[in-house]
Structure 1
Amino acid sequence: MFGGLGKLAAEGLAHRAENATEEVVHKAEEVVKEVVKEVVEHAKEAGEKAIENVVKAAKETEEKAMKEVTNTVTNTIMHASEGLNRLGQ
């Protein structure tokens, strides 16, 4: 008689352990999903920031290059005009 009760108790314990394990696994999956979601969000923000910085740097480089070209053209025109003035005198 006790053999049957022991077997029943062991099966009940195994069943509860299985349920507890499934619950722990389910909670772990939820935690992992949240962590992954957070990591992806941070990566997205970092990527957007990096793209923003690259675009800003490209604009600054473009502006600097345009100023240099403008200065070079202006200086060239001024020197040419001074040279023509000297020739005309």
Structure 2
Amino acid sequence: MSGSWGNFFPYFAGAFKLIVLGIGGYFAIKWHFDEEARVREEEGVVFDRSSYMKKMAMILVFLVALVILVVYATNWFLY
């Protein structure tokens, strides 16, 4: 079974799954931050956009690192 698609399918399926879940998680977190900003703006509280962008960047970096870690850990466990 050397070189067949069956050897590589778990990598692609796992990476695809993590990417889709990561994108979904990103949009869920973004929606909650946007709702918080909307509510604060209605109350008259100033919403700090730079802090918001830093949080979103940290979440994105964490998700990318998690995907890379899972791909390499899967390779290490299987071989």
Give the TM-score, by structure 1 length.
0.45
Structure 1 residue 72, shift from structure 2 partner: 0.5
Q: How many residues align?
A: 45
Aligned equivalent of 1:55, options 2, 11, 14: 11
Matched, 1:76 2:42: no
Unaligned 5+ residue runs, structure 1? 1-43
Pick the structure with greater CA Rg.
1
Unaligned 5+ residue runs, structure 2? 46-79
Give the TM-score, by structure 2 length.
0.51
Aligned pairs for 1:13-24 (under 5 A) are none
CA RMSD of aligned residues (A): 1.8
Q: Which has the higher contact order (CA 8 A, sep 6+)?
A: 2
Cα distance per residue 1:43-79 (max 9 Å; x no partner): x237x52120111010000000110010011100000
Identity score, percent: 4
Structure with bigger helix share is 1
- Aligned partner letter, 1:45: S
- Aligned partner letter, 1:49: W
The residue that corresponds to 2:21 in the other structure is 65
